[in-house]
Amino acid sequence: MNYLEKLLDGAEVEWKPLGEICDFQNGFAFKSNLFKESGLPIIRITNIEGISVDLTDVKYFDPTDYNNSNPLNYSITKGDVLIAMSGATTGKIGYYNLEETAYLNQRVGKFIPTDSILNNRYLYHFLLSKADSLYILAGGGAQPNLSSNILKEKFRIPIPCPNNPEKSLSIQKEIVRILDAFTELTAELTAELTARKKQYEHYRDQLLNFEEGEAEWKPLGETGELLRGNGLQKKDFTETGVPAIHYGQIYTYYGTYTSKTISFVSDKTAEKLRKVNNGDVVITNTSENVEDVGKAVVYLGCEQAVTGGHATIFKPSKNIIGKYFAYFTQTEMFASQKRRYAKGTKVIDVSATDMAKIKIPVPSLEEQQRIVDILDKFDILTTSISEGLPKEIELRKKQYEHYRDMLLAFPKSIV
């Protein structure tokens, strides 16, 4: 606060309604049945990730498919600030930092500063700090929906020195300079993490790619016991009790292995569920996409756990290490086999019976342990939130949020 006070040097701060200094554009209603695999990129609410705009799952369109309207009027360019207007991501802010022009889908909005007193990057940082307020403004609940009119009328932004544009922009730029330093560091660490993940995937695939005679390929069912679970719904969870692994958590929360669960069930519920012991591998059988089917987590906890439906427990024999198998499930060799057994359209399933047919390479136990030891080190560097780069990135994000909240804690004497 001392730094902010020095920066303001007694200057007046006015909290202006967003609509006074900024216009707003809602997205275009692109038709999902006209999405393309190439063409002009569409930014959807799923691409708004908070710090930047994520294009890993982008869809495309051909403007000639829309003869009666013009989606090209809904373009965004580098430096635009975006917001998710509805759904679970309501209030999330994105900064478009790419050279390629993209186009707004419905339920995504773009801020357009109309007053030269507003620095767009300053607006971005301030909006990031108010994600909770934006969600509340949208009505919260299960189906939040943010109105652009309410956003412009009800949401206010602090403008230092409103009567002195030159000084106001100078203060805003200094705040932006400091906060950008933190986001740039986070971006650099994230880029390094991405590179290490690729390196990890390369070494993993190399280590698990055996020459003829180096390993015996066996059906999974011959290397251990496979038990399909049943029951266990989210409503069964309790604050404490018997550790429980829900199938959905395997592809949303857990990594390759875990010694603790994030969910528990009562002793009575646990009696009806399949038991998971130390060293067992819990595998997903069901998902909305084939990529998440067959994901596995090794349970290394001391206390017996349980799991339920849409999951299969693999209990390794004495000839295979559970963690070795879990690493193999992350390879394309495993993925190509599970795709052959996948059934369904909206919901994809690979049964325990079919899972047992998937062949895996089984080298000596000594070689399995050597591979596990190497991959464990990479796993810590690329996925552990308590060690390695993920921990460093999380710390930098918290540091950014701390200084952002401090630098944007303007007095509210004038509203």
**CA 326 – CA 257 distance, rounded (Å):** 8
CATH class of the domain comprising 14-157: alpha beta
Per residue, what are the HEC states of 135-170?
A: HHHCCCCCCCECCHHHHHHHCEEEEECCCCHHHHHH
Q: 14-157 and 216-362: same fold? A: yes
Six-digit token string for 135:
């969600």
pTM: 0.63
Number of H helices, E strands in the chain: 13, 24
Domain boundaries, the chain: 14-157, 216-362
Give the architecture (CATH level 2) of 216-362: Alpha-Beta Complex (3.90)
pLDDT in tens, 213-252: 889 999 999 999 999 998 888 889 999 999 999 998 998 8
pLDDT in tens, 259-278: 999 999 999 999 999 999 99
What DSSP string describes 89-144? Answer: TTT-EEE---SS-EEEBTTEEEEEE-STT--HHHHHHHHHTTHHHHHHHTT-SSS-
Q: Does the pLDDT value for residue 50 go beyond 60?
A: no
> What percent of the chain clears pLDDT 70, i.e. is strictly above it?
94
What DSSP string describes 178-195? Answer: HHHHHHHHHHHHHHHHHH
Q: Does the pLDDT value for residue 73 go beyond 80?
A: yes
Neighbours of 290 (CB within 10 A): 16
Radius of gyration of the CA atoms of the chain, in A: 26
**CA 46 – CA 317 distance, rounded (Å):** 42
* Run of H or E residues at 394: helix 388-407
Single-letter amino acid, residue 383: T
Six-digit token string for 56:
């890993």
414 confidence band (pLDDT: 50, 70, 90): very low
Closest by Cα among 276, 275, 254, 281 to 360: 281
